[in-house]
Amino acid sequence: MSTGNEDGTIPAEPPPAWAQALARLEDDLVRRDAALRTRRAYHVDLLQFARWAAAQNLAPTAIAPKTVRRYVASLSERGAAPTTSARKLAALRALFASLREHGLIAQNPADLVSTPRRGASLPRVLNVREAARLLDGIPAATPLEMRDRAIFELAYSCGLRAEEIVLLGMGDIDHDGEQLRVEGKGRKTRFVPVGEPALAALAVYLERGRPALMAPPAVEADAEALFLSRNGRRLGTSDIRRRLRRWTSAAGVDGCSPHALRHSFATHLLDGGADLRSIQELLGHASVSSTQIYTRVESARLRSAYARSHPRA
C-alpha cells in the first residue's frame, strides 16, 4: 500500500475527494443550524484525519471500521487523551453519517468503533467561601470592573457557560421577572432565575459601566450585546477566561475557570437540596445523565469529610 507522497510525508491539503466530503458535511451542518464553534472543531479534526487517510491513498468511500480503529489507536500512540480521541471519533461519525445520507456509502464505519473510555475526573468546584471571596473581591470603581463584577456574578448565579455569557443581549434581561433568557447549546433557549447580588451588580454596570463602554469608538454592530469590551465590541470567550484569571489570582482562588463557576453553581444547588431534574433544566443539559456528575462530586465530598472526621474511617 502506498504511503502518500514519494518522500513519505502527509500532504498539506487533502485530495479533492476529501475536500468535497468536508465541504458537503459543512453544508449539512449549516443547514441544521449547528453552532459555528462546532463546525470549526469538526473541520480541524476531520482535516487531520483526511490528511492521514490521504497519505495511505484512501478515499472517503474506502474507509472501513478497521481503518478508523487504526487511526484512533495512532492517536493514543501519539499521546492523545481519551477525551481528545473521543471528540475526533465523534467528528468522524458526523462525516460518515453525511456520506451515508447522500448515498455515497452503505454504512457508517465509525459507528462500529467503540468510543475511548474517558477518565472519571471530577470538575473543579469552589466552596461557598471561595466563591464569595472571588466575587466580593471584584471592585466596581471603573467601567471594566463593573462589567467584570456583573459577568461573574451572573455566571455563578445562573450557571452560565462562557459561550452563553458572550451571546447575552440587552433584550435577554427580564428585570421584572428577575430572570435571564439564555441561548445554550444547539440554540436551545432556557430561562434562569437571577439572584439579588447578580441583579445589583448588573444594575450598576447598566447604569454606569456600559454607557461608558458604548462611547466612541463603540461598534454599532455590537450595540445590542450586553457585555462590551473597552472598544465597545462584543466580548469573546477568551476575554471571559482572561478576566477571570485576573480576579481569581487577586483573590487567591486557584484553578478557577468559567466552567468551574458553572460546576460550583450546580454543586451548591445540590448541597442546598435542589433536585437533579431542576438542576438539569437550569444548566440546559439535554439529558439528566449529564447532570449526574454532580452526584459524584457530592459523593466525593462526603467521602472526604468522612475520611477526615470519623475516628475509624
128-309 carries CATH number 1.10.3720.10: no
Q: How is residue 175 written as a grid cell? A: 428585570
Contact 51, 11 (CB under 8 A): yes
The CATH 1.10.443.10 domain(s) of the chain lie at: 128-309
pLDDT tens digits, one per residue of 88-116 = 999 999 999 999 999 999 999 999 888 87
For the whole prediction, is pTM greater than 0.75?
no
Fold for 16-112, please state it: DNA polymerase; domain 1 (1.10.150)
Contact 261, 132 (CB under 8 A): no
Contact 158, 176 (CB under 8 A): no
Res 301: pLDDT? 59
Task: Kindly list the catalytic residues.
Answer: 161, 185, 259, 262, 285, 294
Res 210: pLDDT? 95
- pLDDT class for 4, splitting at 50, 70, 90? very low
pLDDT tens digits, one per residue of 278-297 = 888 888 887 766 676 766 66
pLDDT tens digits, one per residue of 40-81 = 999 999 999 999 999 999 999 999 999 999 999 999 888 888
Q: How is residue 120 written as a grid cell? A: 472519571
- pLDDT class for 8, splitting at 50, 70, 90? very low
CA gap 144, 122 in Å, rounded: 32
Contact 95, 108 (CB under 8 A): no
The CATH 1.10.150.130 domain(s) of the chain lie at: 16-112
- Average pLDDT (186-198) is 90
* Complete DSSP assignment for 143-179: HHHHHHHHHHHHHHHHT--HHHHHH-BGGGEETTTTE
CA gap 268, 202 in Å, rounded: 22
